[in-house]
Amino acid sequence: MRSSGDGRAAGGPYPLHGSVPDPGAEAVGYRGPTACAAAGITYRQLDYWARTGLVEPSVRPTYGSGTQRLYSFRDVVVLKIVKRFLDTGVALQNIRAAVQHLRARGFQDLDRMTLMSDGATVHECTSPDEVVSLLQGGQGVFGIAVGVVWRDVEAALSQLHGERIDTGETLIGNNPADELARRRRDRAV
């Protein structure tokens, strides 16, 4: 079992790149208000986390006045994970270590990953045996099933606006085949 609570997790302020195959997800970005709505956070939190390097937008960071941040799907998943950790009382320093661990690890086996914490340390568990072992040791207090968060964000973003990275076209519900999006696209031409 790998632990990220010691603050020594590899990684840095770079975007999360994983191996979860979703070719369409990388072609879509989400503006700040959309990322906030999907993650259940305020814009003030989003701004603070971006400025402090906790969760930076990997698609398009701000470069000055007038530029809009653009978050990837994976960024929004991490935002929601951070929110859940904060809601359960985990210290921001430990959340930073967990985020760095996720960055270093990538997004392999998300459907089987559970992040467990006793409030002081965050542990990654990828099997039921690891969860049981952690609980038997008296360390784990709560867990976040990352795969469930992934699906929650996917469902939320399916109802919100995305933006094609290459063209800047607004996508309704992250579905390019959506009728309203098609009509807007046709009118713009």
Tens of each residue's pLDDT in the chain, 189 residues: 333 333 322 232 223 333 343 434 458 899 999 999 999 999 999 999 999 999 999 998 877 777 788 999 989 999 999 999 999 888 888 889 888 878 777 766 666 788 887 767 778 888 888 888 877 776 656 788 888 898 899 999 988 988 888 888 888 765 434 455 555 666 665
Note the pLDDT of residue 30.
95
Residue at token pair 């010691």: 6
Note the pLDDT of residue 167.
83
C-alpha distances out from residue 107 to 44, 51, 73, 168, Å? 27, 23, 12, 26
Note the pLDDT of residue 132.
82
Q: Do the beta carbons of residue 81 and residue 146 sit within 8 Å?
A: yes
Note the pLDDT of residue 45.
95
pTM: 0.72
Note the pLDDT of residue 46.
95
